[in-house]
Amino acid sequence: MADTAEGAPRRRGRNETEEERADRMWQELIQEVRVAQMGVQILFGFLLTVVFTEKYDDLTDTDQTIYLVTVVLGACATGALIGPVSLHRLVSGRRVKPQAVRLASRLTLLGLVLLLATTTASLLLILRVATHDGFVPYLVAGVVGWYLLCWFVLPLWTRHRHTAK
């Protein structure tokens, strides 16, 4: 066992078979996907209604383009985050769970990246419509930075910091 910086021994893993590990990882992944799916589906549902409002016709061509890109990103994020459910259903009982978990994990990560892009584009559109101030791109960049820190930088730092080498 490797020692941590504090001197305490670090466990290298659980004593489980590949199938047990795949089962555990699948359950953890599905819980994570549920949270992300809820967010992207609410956001996507809201986006779908915008085009039917009177305000939509008043948007500039640029804002309408941002809206269309945002809707497509939301649709792609929804697909990626629902993908693991379909994958599980179609390969269930085929004895490929470890491979399915890896693929579902990649789909989920892709879904999170697409959710980040959807949220960014939504925020940009909303702030452009709500205010025409020049600070909007900076505010959106700050929020994107926050998302990157919370969703990717801190988890990757934790993985690097606390994973045995």
**Share above pLDDT 90 across residues of the chain, in percent, rounded to a whole number:** 81
Q: Confidence band (pLDDT; 50, 70, 90) for 6?
A: low
* Predicted local confidence at residue 84, as pLDDT: 94
* Predicted local confidence at residue 1, as pLDDT: 44
Cα 14–chain centre separation: 27
- Does any domain span residue 159? no
Q: What value does the mean pLDDT take over residues 145-161?
A: 96
- Does any domain span residue 156? no
* Predicted local confidence at residue 147, as pLDDT: 97
- Give the count of domains, the chain: 1
* Predicted local confidence at residue 50, as pLDDT: 94
- Does any domain span residue 140? no
**CB distance 49 to 42 below 8 Å:** no
Range of the domain at 51: 18-133
- Does any domain span residue 44? yes
Q: Is 45 left (phi over 0), alpha (psi -120 to 50) or beta?
A: alpha
**Mean of per-residue pLDDT scores for the chain:** 90
Q: Would you say residue 5 has pLDDT above 80?
A: no
Q: Would you say residue 58 has pLDDT above 90?
A: yes
* Predicted local confidence at residue 14, as pLDDT: 81
Q: Confidence band (pLDDT; 50, 70, 90) for 132?
A: confident
- Does any domain span residue 67? yes
- Does any domain span residue 78? yes
Q: Would you say residue 2 has pLDDT above 50?
A: no
- Does any domain span residue 5? no
Q: Would you say residue 76 has pLDDT above 80?
A: yes
Q: What are 47-56's contacts with CB under 8 Å, separation 24+?
A: 47/71, 47/74, 47/118, 47/122, 55/129
Q: Would you say residue 7 has pLDDT above 70?
A: no
- Does any domain span residue 94? yes
Other beta carbons within 10 Å of 17: 9
102 vs 92: CA distance, rounded Å: 14
Q: What value does the mean pLDDT take over residues 121-145?
A: 95
3-state helix, strand, coil in the chain (%, to 5): 80, 0, 20
50 vs 53: CA distance, rounded Å: 6
